[in-house]
Amino acid sequence: MERQAFERYSALFAQALAAFDDIMGVVALGSTADREIQDCWSDHDFAVVLRNGSPDQFLNDVSWMPEAKRIIASARHGGIYNVAVYDDGHKVEYLVCNEPAVSSITVTKSCILLDRSKVGKRIEEARSFTSARQQAIAEQAWNPVNLAIVILTAAQRVRRGEVLNAMSLLAAATDMALHMLARTPPTWELTDPLDPRRRLEQLRPDIAKELSDLLTSPPDGAIYRLLRLVDGTVRPKMPNLNWLGFDNVIRRLPP
């Protein structure tokens, strides 16, 4: 979707909801709120804040949405989320919650489109809580021992013949390594701290290519490629981490 059409849809989405008295606020989330990372493939993501009534009114029925006749399918997920797909393939995802619940939703980037009751303040609280949760996750990811344990488990699954499970574990290990890499000096910012692979090709094409090759290789070899990547990029820049524990675990890799 071109940028002008993208912004027009955002305005129409908020306008459609403004017709309902029970709507307290509409917030653009993620790339929908950030022009710098929007492109023609960006989806729309919104949070809808409800004063009274049931969210089902908006989650189960998409007739209120802009150009509703062009919607070819919609589906709920995660309890408070719904996603609608238009006939051109464009996807619109939105959550609906009441005001007290706003603080518990996940918010990284946001832009207030409609605010009838200090919704912006609630969104800032949600952003702070999201940041705190991500910091706690990151601190666990910074411990190389946790990464080594996942790699060891993947290697054991390979030996057992559980290749698919090993591949999923390797994918998890690469995400852990990415979170570590994102915090090695000089730091580079993830466009989406919830998904470290998003737009990695633009930010670090060298890392993206290596991980792409790694994840499409047989897991028994990919394990050692990931270890070389961590040893060559993270360890030299973050020598104060628990690399002794990391090495102690890695030495237990099955031959």
Domain ranges of the chain: 3-136, 142-250
Longest dimension (CA), the chain: 66
Q: Is the pLDDT of residue 187 over 90?
A: no
Q: Is the pLDDT of residue 186 over 70?
A: no
Residue 173's pLDDT band, with cuts at 50, 70 and 90, is very high
Q: Please give the pLDDT value at position 151.
A: 93
Q: Is the pLDDT of residue 199 over 70?
A: yes
Q: Topology of domain 3-136, per CATH?
A: Beta Polymerase; domain 2 (3.30.460)
Percentage of the chain surpassing pLDDT 90? Answer: 54
Q: Which residue has the higher pLDDT, 187 or 251?
A: 251
pLDDT digits (tens, 9 = 90+) for 127-159: 888 877 777 766 666 789 999 999 999 999 999
Q: What's the burial of 225, exposed, middle or buried (CB within 10 Å: 0-12/13-18/19+)? A: middle
Neighbouring CB atoms inside 10 A of 236's CB total 9
Q: Is the pLDDT of residue 204 over 70?
A: yes
Can you give the pTM of this predicted structure? 0.73
- How confident is the model over 200-228, as a mean pLDDT? 89
Q: Please give the pLDDT value at position 170.
A: 94
- Its sign, for the CA torsion 248, 250, 253, 255, is negative
- How confident is the model over 114-120, as a mean pLDDT? 89
Q: Where are the beta strands (DSSP E) in the chain?
A: 23-29, 44-50, 71-77, 81-86, 91-98, 110-115
Q: Is the pLDDT of residue 165 over 80?
A: yes
Peptide bond into 186 cis (omega under 30): yes
φ and ψ of 26, to 5 deg: -135, 130
pLDDT digits (tens, 9 = 90+) for 6-43: 999 999 999 999 999 999 999 999 889 988 888 888 89
Q: What is the mean pLDDT of the chain?
A: 88
* Beta partners for residue 95, in sequence order: 47, 81
pLDDT digits (tens, 9 = 90+) for 67-99: 999 999 999 998 899 999 999 999 999 999 988
Q: Please give the pLDDT value at position 179.
A: 80
Among the residue ranges 147-156, 179-188, 193-202, the one predicted with the least confidence is 179-188
Residue type, 216: T
